Structure 1
């Protein structure tokens, strides 16, 4: 756990995460000092109410006002297409940036994040499933790569905003090195995608809307054992923040090299492209930068309509 007290700013209050992260950040010894909300989901005045309800001293009308108040920002925008522009003023000021999942929905934005990190910026984020206790616990078995047979990870709700958790869970279990993705088809409202690693191992992700909520789950089969993993949601956010905050405090290296971190989003983008191409295998290294990927603005509209049906 970080020993350095960080001054943290929250950018965009769109999801449940800002309120859920807040008590954990404080328990870890950090201070949330300011908020800024772009208004994509909530009406004018919501940021002031959120700050008042949660004892946050400053509400900033612009990101430029927020930057000098903080050591790092946590970007919670549900429209992932604005993540890079939200991050830019903090990167330019030398401040840390945590980008909530999904990091981005297209190759161009992911490459910009990588470029910033290569130039010295301190950026990480993504899904909590990559750091969950169940993944760490499974690796304690010490399974060698050559012992793998197959793995399946899944969840419900949608294919990217929530589905990225399933990709992250599979990636956490199998490790880095995804080579290509192909869409296998779908059933029951979900899509199944096969990810293949550079060393020949493979696993399947199943994501999409179902009639009821499904837990985050995985089945892992090796030469000597078969495990079913059911993730405990109550421990997810703490695991994520404990893995990443020491990095922002300068007390630990990045929890994952940035090239490995973005593999999760690249795999999901490749899966969507494969689906559009009738199931052709798509190399994550060869996704065209011009490919639109997942539309964050459209998702934000649907997210708002779900939260406020009368606003349709």
Structure 2
């Protein structure tokens, strides 16, 4: 998207194109689709291994019952355009999904003519707003893979567009659905959470805010167990490590450690009124994919807009703290500055 075009103007321009939703509202569309034995799924972006993993699971001839009825039938390959490590994978991944019975199409519009739901998998979050708009206009549910966008302002704009067309969406790291993370969140292991320390790789990509690219995994793990309500952050940054300390409105402290050296691993420790527990281990994409299928079936996002936007505000505030030499930065200030 041309950076000279304001994000709200972009949404208005899309709306004025005359496509929009049909007279049939989204609720009716979902009732029609959920009654079918099968909902056809399309993928936007064949530049990430997620596209391959999701297609293998959904198109498995012996697919498990909780994933059955949602085959990937079509894909639009063009995801990242500027990130060589991503776009260089497109030819290989295109051939792999074709071998799994997926039709390759030349445009998002062509894809939307063939499917009932969409996985927006493009690795470059900077393309997500422009690629999500036509999906919203079609009235079809869309899961947007991490990062939801390449900026906080675009993340806000995506939800504005979702609400304009009354088509829900959500974004999530697969680490949110680690078994222990969900048990901690639900109060099943340690009672009320009083604090947490999480970690993940935090590799950097020059086209994205620092933590959006890979630190998102550990940050989302932190919010999974801590919940929303973070007021401010302080970030310490070195070549190999980031440590971000968040203070929640009730006085709780949560920390994220992002690592760029040593072994790449994911996890953390949550502290509660009844003890402490490990947040991991991480066992793969499947639990997230089950949630995506439930979302396609019901139209109800498993993660709310408020939590998603707070996660991305936390990461943008961490960048601002870095720019200010490690000063404390309030999330509400950052959210307002991004247009929220």
| Structure 1: runs of 5 or more not aligned | 292-312
Residue among 231, 236, 240 paired with 2:281: 231
TM-score normalized by the length of structure 1? 0.82
Moved over 6 A (4+): 288-291
Change (3 A) 1:177 1:244: farther
Question: Could you tell me which residue of structure 1 aligns to residue 42 of structure 2?
Answer: 9
Normalised TM-score (structure 2): 0.76
Cα contact 1:188–1:210 (8 A) shared by 2: no
Q: Which structure 2 residues correspond to residues 1-312 of structure 1 after superposition, within 5 A?
A: 5-26=38-59, 27=63, 28-29=67-68, 30-38=70-78, 40=81, 41-42=87-88, 45-46=91-92, 48-56=94-102, 58-119=103-164, 120-138=166-184, 139-141=187-189, 143-144=191-192, 148=194, 150-158=195-203, 159-183=211-235, 185-186=236-237, 189-213=240-264, 215-234=265-284, 237-250=285-298, 253-287=300-334
Superposition deviation, residue 44 in structure 1: 7.4
Residues 1:288 and 1:220: Cα distance change in structure 2 (over 3 Å): closer
SS at match of 1:244: helix
* Count of aligned positions: 282
Partner of 1:309: none
Gaps of 5+ in 2: 1-33, 82-86, 204-210
**Distance in 2 between residues matched to 1:189 and 1:93, nearest whole Å:** 44
Q: Is the 8 A contact 1:106 1:289 kept in 2?
A: no
| Displacement of 1:100 | 0.5
| Cα displacement (A) at 1:122 | 1.9
State the distance in 2 between where 1:264 and 1:223 align.
24
Q: Using the alignment, how far apart are the partners of 1:284 and 1:34 within structure 2?
A: 40
Could you list the per-position Cα deviations for residues 179-225 of structure 1 after superposition, in whole angstroms to 9, with x for gaps in the alignment?
22211x24571110011222221110011311332x21111223442
